[in-house]
Every structure is written in C-alpha cells, then in structure tokens.
Amino acid sequence: MTSRIPFYLLISLLIIVGLGMSIYRHDVYGVPWTAGQKHQVWEVEARVEFDAKGEPVKVSLATPDTQQGFTLINENTSSPGYGFALVNTENGRRAEWTKREAYGQQILYFKNQMLVDENAKVPTEPPLGEVTPVALDGPLKTAAEAMLDQARSRSADNATLARELIKQFNDKDSQNAALITKEMSKGDAIVAILSLEGVHARVVGALQLEDGRRRQSIIPMVEIWDNTAWQLFNIETGAQGSPDNLLLWNEKGTPLLEVMGGSNSQVSFSIISQDISPQQATNEKIQAESLLNFSIHSLPIEEQAMFKTIMLVPIGALIVVLLRVLVGLKTSGTFMPVLIAVAFVQTQLVPGIVGFLLIVGTGLVIRSYLSRLNLLLVARISAVIITVIMIISVFTVVAFKIGLVEGLSITFFPMIILSWTIERMSILWEEEGAKEVIVQGGGSLLTAVLVYLAMTNELVRHVTFNFIGIQLVILALILMLGNYTGYRLSELKRFKPLVKD
C-alpha cells in the first residue's frame, strides 16, 4: 500500500508556505487583511527661493529617505529651465539643480510623498571614526567647559548628558549659555560641547507634519549616539524621542540648503495629508522598493486587472469541489459553472442568468433538430458553436433595439463552453430524460451563482489579489478534499430508510 506520508507533507508544506507568504506581505509591506482600509500619505513640498546674479547656479537641497515610520514612495521637482538630479552622497541624499546662467529671483520646487508605514525600518548606521573636538577659544571655551562639568556631574550616560546640557541652554539665567549662543546657534553649541566629551552628535532638521500647513520652517533638533542607536532630542523642550508625525528631512546633519551663484536663499515647506487605498499603497511601496518588483503589482495596470479576475478562479474551483465532493450536487461539466460565474461577473447576476437560460434553451431546441440529421460529432459541435454565436448576436441586437443596455453584456459568455454544455445536455436528455437535464442544469446554475457571490465579495477579491500565498492554501484544501471518500450530504436521503429500520 502506498504511504500517505508524502501527501500529508505536501499538504502541510503548501499551507505553511502560503500562509507564510501572506503574513510576510502583511507584516513587511503593510498590506491589510481586509478591504476598505486607508493608508495616510504626507505630501511635502519644499519651496527654494534665492536671487541669482547672472552667474552659473548650483543649488543643493537635503532630501529625506525612507526612515522609521515613513516609506518614501515618490519624489519630483518643478524647475523649468534647470537641470536636476538626485545625488547619493556620503552624508545622505541631496537634490541638485543647475543652470548655466540665471537672473533675478528664482523659485524652485521639490515635492515628495511619504507613506505612513509602521513597518518601515532602516538599519542603524553608527558613526565612523573618532570625534574631533570643536575648537573653542577664550571665554567660549571656559563657558563650554563649565557647562560640561555641571552636566557631567548630573548625568549617567551620553543621553542624559545631552539632556542636562539642553536644560542649561534653556535656562534664561545661565550666563554661560547666553555667551555661547551669541556666537553660534543652540544646536551647534550643544554639538560642540558634546564633542569635547567625545560624544558623536549632529544637528538634524525635522518637520512637524500637520495637514494644510504652509510656509513651515525646519525645526532644528539634536541627535546623539549612545553607543547603540541615535537618540533624538528637542533642543527647545529637552524631550527625548521622536513624536508622532515628525519627519526628519535633513537626517545626516549636513547643511539643509547650499546655493552657489545666488544670494538671500531660503527654503520653506508646505504639507498636506491624503488617504489612499491599500492597493495604491502597496503599488507605490513596491515600486519604491525594487526588492519585490517580482510581483503582480509591478505589472502594468491592464495586466493587473486581468489577473484580478484570474486569481478568483481558484476560489470558484474550491466551491465546485466542495459542492460536488461533500454535498453531492450534480453539475453539467466539472468546471463549467466557474466559467459561467466569470461571465456573470462581467454581465451582472440577473442579466447573466437570463442570458444563460435563453442561450442554452434556444440551443437545445436547435440541437434537437441537428440530432435528427445524424451528423458526425465534429460537424455537430461546429454547427452548435456557429448556432450559439448567431443566438448571441440576435439577442444582443434585439436588446439594443429595445433599449436593454444590460443585454449587450451577453457577449461575455464563453461560446465554446456554452456549445459543449448544450451538446452534453442534449445527449443527457436523450439518454436520461428531461428530469436529469433539469437536475444537472439547475445544479450548474446554482453553483455558478454561489461562485459569482464569492467572486464579487470585496474581502475575497482583496485577499486573493494581494496575497498570492492564499492560492497555495486553496490548492492544499482542494487536494485534501480530493482525498475524501466518505458519504455526501445528498446521500443521506437515500440511506434514511436504513436509519428508520
């Protein structure tokens, strides 16, 4: 006797791989399990202004990348007459505009879209090399050392050291802080003092994301390295950590904006929020991350729409197997109801049922005449196909003439399948009688309706299209049902007298 262990191993493998792929897409790429959810996207536009002097112009703007809580999905510029490029440097990504000659006031726009993504994670990049202490002379050095001594005595590590320094800079009565901030900004002063202690620190630029904000400026903040990760501090409040909806625009501590060939440069930001569907979010994220370009979502929209229907066919196959194996429902053909259900998706249910009954009913009448001619099978089937095409054409024209727009969708029915259905039912009528034709035809129609209801369910359409691993789970279920050899529900009536006895 053949061992069933390999079969059960195959079933288990299909289920594990299918569920694993689906869970991976949910956890890593944020694809929701249910339809109808929305994802938030922040659209941030940087407006760069400067006065050109008639010289060659080169403008460099720091730009954000995917970071904790946000995935970069799109970026573009509006800068007529300028050359543009996104450059990856050792100190982060920068947008660069260039022009041979420019005069007067210049305005450049840079826009990007950040998808709110709690699964977005970037590897921690530790600082390279040792800290070079910032050179401070005279009174500045004395004030810095005094502030450092006080902060050192009240701290336990790099993070608390930075926090204590920020407290001193926010103390209005601190003469040392007032002296230093006359020569440099608060953020640069904190970084300079931390460098005396050998602590890696940098000033970063952040944006507080608020819907509808215009002309917003970068918020300077300080990041320090605590030997395991970068810790963010608000230099105005001393708060540690990143609050909600805070986007680090200038992450590497490099200058936000550099302009060569211009003066009076400034940059401001406008922010709006919008909600997009899970499919849009998935498409954008996959396009932004080339790792998963091997996906249905990477195909053109036309092909995606085709696969959205194809991916529903296994659901129909599963329903047919359930009804035939467990229920014992008789159908005309094995998977003809699935194809009819696909046609119902295009025609809608009621017009589809009416069209199906008209075509099959008329086809059976014509097929009964062809049977009297004693034609060969190939010729008879070919004649039935031509007849079905003529029937569809006549019904479509009549529907159009009388104003029934729904009747035009009857052309979506699979003509070859209908022809074989008519042929099978005709033979069945001759061999088993009209009752068996009604039983199998009714079973086929009922199955097609149930498959149609499953195919048009939003949750089913969402899961089958966005989680390809579900197809493996469906395959495993069908293989398991194929191993069933017990009684069907329809057989209970046949064995009911035995129960009474």
DSSP letter for each residue of 100-149: S--EEEEEEEEEEEEEE-TT------PPPS---PPP--HHHHHHHHHHHH
Average pLDDT over residues 125-146: 82
Could you say which of 242, 276, 310 is where a domain stops? 276
- 241: region left, alpha or beta (phi > 0 left; psi from -120 to 50 alpha): left
Residue 110 sits in the same domain as residue 206: yes
User: Is the pLDDT reported for residue 290 higher than 60?
Assistant: no
Residue 432 within a domain:
yes
Average pLDDT over residues 82-86: 91
pLDDT at 99: 92
User: Is the pLDDT reported for residue 411 higher than 70?
Assistant: no
Using a pLDDT cut of 90, give the percent of the chain over it: 14
Residue 263 sits in the same domain as residue 321: no
User: Is the pLDDT reported for residue 298 higher than 70?
Assistant: no
pLDDT tens-digit readout, 217-227: 898 999 998 88
Q: For the stretch 224-236, what's the b/e string if a residue is b when 16 or more beta carbons lie within 10 angstroms of its beta carbon? A: bbeeeebbbbbbe
Q: What does the alpha-carbon distance between residue 414 and residue 426 come to, in Å, rounded to a whole number? A: 18
Q: Which of 94-108, 279-293, 410-424, 462-476 has the highest mean pLDDT?
A: 94-108
Backbone φ, ψ for residue 36 (5° rounding): 95, -10
Among the listed residues 269, 250, 265, the one whose alpha carbon sits nearest the alpha carbon of residue 57: 265
Residue 14 within a domain:
no
Q: What does the alpha-carbon distance between residue 100 and residue 265 come to, in Å, rounded to a whole number? A: 18
Average pLDDT over residues 100-111: 91
Residue 74 sits in the same domain as residue 217: yes
Residue 336 sits in the same domain as residue 241: no
Average pLDDT over residues 71-83: 86
Using a pLDDT cut of 70, give the percent of the chain over it: 87
Residue 179 within a domain:
yes
DSSP string, 93-109: EEEEEEES--EEEEEEE
pLDDT tens-digit readout, 439-490: 888 888 899 899 999 988 888 888 888 788 888 999 999 998 888 877 777 7
80 and 242 Cβ atoms separated by less than 8 Å:
no
Could you say which of 151, 170, 199 is where a domain stops? 199
Residue 13 within a domain:
no
DSSP 322: I
pLDDT at 291: 47
Give the pLDDT band (50/70/90) at residue 424: confident
Residue 324 sits in the same domain as residue 465: yes
Average pLDDT over residues 426-431: 80
Could you say which of 199, 223, 247 is where a domain stops? 199
| CB contact set of 205 (below 8 Å; sequence gap of 6+) | 62, 218, 219, 220, 221, 248, 249, 250, 256
pLDDT at 30: 64
Q: Please, how many CA atoms are within 13 Å of residue 167, restricted to the half-sphere of its CB?
A: 13
Identify the residue whose tokens are 């009536």.
493
In single-letter form, the type of residue at position 64 comes to: P
Residue 401 sits in the same domain as residue 344: yes
Q: What does the alpha-carbon distance between residue 465 and residue 485 come to, in Å, rounded to a whole number? A: 32
Residue 311 sits in the same domain as residue 338: yes
pTM above 0.85, yes or no: no
Residue 194 sits in the same domain as residue 217: no
User: Is the pLDDT reported for residue 93 higher than 70?
Assistant: yes
pLDDT tens-digit readout, 314-334: 998 899 999 888 888 888 777
Residue 69 sits in the same domain as residue 156: no
User: Is the pLDDT reported for residue 193 higher than 80?
Assistant: yes
User: Is the pLDDT reported for residue 15 higher than 70?
Assistant: yes
Exposed, middle or buried by CB within 10 Å (0-12, 13-18, 19+), for 281? buried
Q: What does the alpha-carbon distance between residue 118 and residue 369 come to, in Å, rounded to a whole number? A: 68
Residue 435 sits in the same domain as residue 389: yes
pLDDT at 11: 87
Q: Which of 43-57, 243-257, 410-424 has the highest mean pLDDT?
A: 43-57
User: Is the pLDDT reported for residue 255 higher than 70?
Assistant: yes
- The residue that leads in pLDDT, 207 or 276, is 207
Give the pLDDT band (50/70/90) at residue 37: low
Print the domain residue range for 392.
Answer: 302-496
Structural domains counted in the chain: 3
- The residue that leads in pLDDT, 260 or 73, is 260
Report the 10 Å Cβ neighbour count for 72.
21
Residue 376 sits in the same domain as residue 456: yes
Residue 438 within a domain:
yes
**What is the torsional sign of CA 47, 53, 58, 61?**
negative
Residue 10 within a domain:
no
pLDDT at 292: 45
The rounded mean pLDDT for the chain is 82
Alpha-helical (H) ranges within 375-433 are 377-401, 415-432
DSSP 150: H
Residue 8 within a domain:
no
User: Is the pLDDT reported for residue 288 higher than 70?
Assistant: no
Residue 446 sits in the same domain as residue 334: yes
Backbone φ, ψ for residue 39 (5° rounding): -115, 140
237 and 245 Cβ atoms separated by less than 8 Å:
no
Residue 6 within a domain:
no
Average pLDDT over residues 19-38: 74
472 and 21 Cβ atoms separated by less than 8 Å:
yes
DSSP lists the bridge partners of residue 259 as 59
